[in-house]
Every structure is written in structure tokens, then in C-alpha cells.
Amino acid sequence: MTILRRTLIAAATAALLGASFSALAQDIKPRLIRFGYGLNEQSNQGRAAKVFAEQVEKASGGKMKVRAIGAAALGPDVQMQQALIGGAQEMMVGSTATLVGITKEMAIWDTPFLIANTKEADAMLDGPIGDKIKDKLQDKGLVGLVYWENGFRNLTNSKRAITKMEDLQGIKLRVMQNNVFLSSFQTLGANAIPMAFSELFSALETKTVDGQENPFNTILSSKFYEVQKYMTVTNHVYSPWIVLASKKWWSQLSKDEQKILMDAAKASRDYERKDTREEAGKAMGDLKAKGMQINELSPAESARMRDKLTKVYAGIGTDVGMDLWNETQGELARIRARK
């Protein structure tokens, strides 16, 4: 054998070996899952994202790795949804309200005063209506895994205490990028301005807007108390979060991998709801201690607001379809009749 031939063979062998090594390396390289969310790491959303990541890593023996990325570093809800649809990002958690542009049926959850307590919320979201709405995402390139609790939303602002509907007049109120929220608060008299959550703190700080509405937990974890003096406990809507996967990516996973993710999503849901409720239960005291002035909306005022919103309710029915609207009301009645 000439030297040249020997060298060639050696090179070819090395190339072959190299190729099989890198194939092997790819096999053992963990699947990297980018899981984006909007709130900060110290929030209930951040804590539950961590629980999800840990369980996936453990259950897969380290073969699947979740990188939980908070504070909208991968973009606000709407942008992440598009990244999931396109397959550029694997997973996220965000508000159902920001999904209505993709799946109109999600607007059911935006109905003011629809859900009265957490027991109803769990039964609705984990029951047939919750499933039906979640499954609609499939046609749009998304897989809905589970609903987490964002929570009952309350109003804050820097202008004045809101004790009656008329107090909302002239308040520049940030709302989510969602028509039901926009028209609800317009109808109640506020100057409603849709905006991504990631821009909210600085908009409040610079007084681009006077107020906003979010659950106790978010007002606390996002430090809105630093820029908002007044809080009114309105509980005007129960807001879910939904854990989403890119369908493009999901459909390439093995059944085992999908099961690992689904099981972890359910475990994170149970953890998240419990954690959120515990935090919300003591948040009022915490926010008062931070200097917020808090009042509760009277039942009479809350009833006046509901009356005023009749037109908005009718609009939701038309948008999501009267069948779904009626099924939802029927399911709620069944849940309420259960003792």
C-alpha cells in the first residue's frame, strides 16, 4: 500500500467514525424545549414553569430539557403564539385572552362575571367545555395542554378609588389585546387602551396609562403597587392561563415524550393552582402593607356593571357561536347544581 492510499483510508475511516460519533452525540443530546412566559421568575407563573421544567427533566432521565424563559424575553404572548405556530419556539404559557385572534372560542373565558369561584373554574376548565375550546387550537397549529390559574382580575389605578361605575370615567385603563376586554371597559366608561403586558409597568410609571386590571398575584409580583395607589377588588372576570405547544414540533415527538410533557403539565397545573390560591389569599394584606389603598366593590355596584354589560354578553355569544354559549351556560348550571 502506498503511503497515499494508507493516508486516504485512514482519513476515510476517521470521517466515518466522526460521522457515527456525531450521530450518537445527537441521540444523547437532550431535546431542548424553550418554554416562554410573560411574568417574572418570582411570580406564580415563574414558580410553576420551574416545576414543569424539573418534572420533564426528571421523568425523561435528562433526555428532555426545558428552558423556562420569563419576563417576555421571548416576546409577549401574541408574538410567542406566532413563534409556536411557525415552529420557531416549542412551548409557552400565557393568557387565553390573548389567543382570541387565533381561536375565537377562547373569548368564552373573557365573559365578565361568568365564573364565580375557583371550584367552578376548575370544573369548567378541566371539563368538556374547557376541552372543547382547547381542542380548537389544533386547527391553528397549536396544542393546548392544560389551563393554569391567572386568577380573578381586579382594578388598580393611580387617580382615585373606584367605588362606582362613574368613577371609571376618564381613567386611561390598559386592557389586554382582546376585544371583549376592550369593549367591556369602554362600555363601563373607561378610556380602554390595549397593550402587551410587557409594556405595562413602564406605561404605568410614565402615566401613559392610569390603571390596569390583573389578579392579586400579578399586582404583587410585577410590583404594580410601586406605581398604583388604588386598588378595587372587583373580581370582574376569572382569567385562565393556558400551556401551549407548537403543533409542528409536538407532532414530531414520540408518544412517550408527549406523555412525559402532558403528565408534567398536569402536575404543574395542580401545583400552580394551589400556589396561586395561597398567594392570592394573603395578597391583600401584603399590598396594603406596600401602601395601596384597597376597597371592595359593593354587590350593588357589581350588579349595575353586569347590567350595563348586557350588550357585551350578546356580542360574545355571536362571536363564539350561540351553541357554545348555551352549552357553557348549561354546563355552569350543572356544576352549580352539584353539591
The site for ligand TK8 (CB under 6 A) is made up of 38-39, 77, 94-95, 98, 150, 176, 197, 214, 218, 239
Smallest separation (angstroms) from ligand TK8 to the CB of 253: 25
**Axis-axis angle for helices 255-289, 118-125 (nearest 10):** 160
Smallest separation (angstroms) from ligand TK8 to the CB of 244: 12
**60 or 234: CB nearest ligand TK8:** 234
| Residue at 238: amino acid letter | Y
**Axis-axis angle for helices 322-337, 128-135 (nearest 10):** 150
Smallest separation (angstroms) from ligand TK8 to the CB of 77: 5
Among 186, 153, 161, CA closest to 312: 186
Strands ordered across the beta sheet of 172-175: 191-194, 172-175, 211-214, 154-157, 230-233, 293-296
**59 or 146: CB nearest ligand TK8:** 146
Smallest separation (angstroms) from ligand TK8 to the CB of 293: 22
Quote the CA–CA distance of 113 and 275 in Å, as a whole number.
Answer: 23
How buried is residue 290: exposed, middle or buried, by Cβ count under 10 Å (0-12/13-18/19+)?
A: middle
**224 or 250: CB nearest ligand TK8:** 224
Among 238, 235, 217, 96, CA closest to 154: 235
The residue number with the shortest CB distance to ligand TK8 is 38
Strands ordered across the beta sheet of 238-246: 64-69, 31-36, 91-95, 238-246, 142-152
Smallest separation (angstroms) from ligand TK8 to the CB of 153: 7
Smallest separation (angstroms) from ligand TK8 to the CB of 176: 5
**57 or 77: CB nearest ligand TK8:** 77
Q: Cell for 30?
A: 437532550
**39 or 66: CB nearest ligand TK8:** 39
**109 or 197: CB nearest ligand TK8:** 197
Smallest separation (angstroms) from ligand TK8 to the CB of 61: 31
CA geometry: angle at 217 spanning 215 and 218, to 5°? Answer: 70
Quote the CA–CA distance of 70 and 93 in Å, as a whole number.
Answer: 10
**14 or 73: CB nearest ligand TK8:** 73
